[in-house]
Amino acid sequence: MSSEDQKIKLSSRILKALSFFLLFISIIIVIFSTATNQIDYNLLMLGFGFLFLSAILGSIAGEGIIKIKYETLTELRCTNKDCKFLQYNKFNFGDYVFKILKKCDLCKKGDIFIQNIFHIKETEAKKLMEQATTGASI
Ligand SMILES: [Zn+2]
């Protein structure tokens, strides 16, 4: 797990905790404002204000305005077993596993085909796409 994931998890946890805390405070304020014979409307409004804030924070933490983005990649290899060709591309519509794309520029013998299609975090996808063993783009 990368440190970025942990940060996202932590900040979402903090938001959730904050949301619960505000909910708790707002309930206390609402109870307190209606406990006396004369209802304190200012305090009551404050209580509902906190409640509203708590709901917003809760939904941000739960639904993920903080969200990990994913990318679908295709892993390209050469049919020639001795060839070191390896490249990761963004998934294109119509891609499938074992689809042959073109002749290999690296060994001039094999064909480049899609070995794998997978889902990965956007940050890791960028790293993979940079570490191709050939500069040739497809
Ligand atoms: Zn090759």
Q: What is the pLDDT of residues 55-88, one digit of tens each?
A: 888 777 776 566 678 999 999 999 998 999 999 9
Helix (H) or strand (E) holding 74: strand 70-78
CB 102 within 8 A of CB 138: yes
| Alpha carbon of 41 to ligand 1 centroid (Å) | 77
Question: Ligand 1 being an ion, which residues bring their Cβ within 5 A of it?
Answer: 78, 80, 83, 85, 104, 106-107, 110
| Alpha carbon of 105 to ligand 1 centroid (Å) | 6
Helix (H) or strand (E) holding 125: helix 122-130
Assess whether pLDDT exceeds 70 at residue 94: yes
Assess whether pLDDT exceeds 70 at residue 41: yes
Share of the chain above pLDDT 70, in %: 85
| Alpha carbon of 134 to ligand 1 centroid (Å) | 10
Q: Which of 97, 52, 55, 94 is nearest to 74 (CA)?
A: 97
- Both tokens assigned to 127: 């790293």
How confident is the model over 44-61, as a mean pLDDT? 82
Q: Which of 22, 9, 2 is nearest to 61 (CA)?
A: 9
Helix (H) or strand (E) holding 50: helix 41-63
**Domain regions of the chain by residue span:** 3-63, 70-130
- Both tokens assigned to 23: 């909910």
Model pLDDT, residue 64: 59
Model pLDDT, residue 137: 47
Model pLDDT, residue 71: 93
| Alpha carbon of 74 to ligand 1 centroid (Å) | 17
Rounded CA-CA distance 61/66 in Å is 7
Q: What are phi and psi of 87, to 5 degrees?
A: -150, 145
Q: What does pTM read for this prediction? A: 0.54
Sign of CA dihedral 102, 78, 91, 136: negative
Share of the chain above pLDDT 90, in %: 37
How confident is the model over 86-105, as a mean pLDDT? 94
- Chain-wide mean pLDDT for the chain? 83
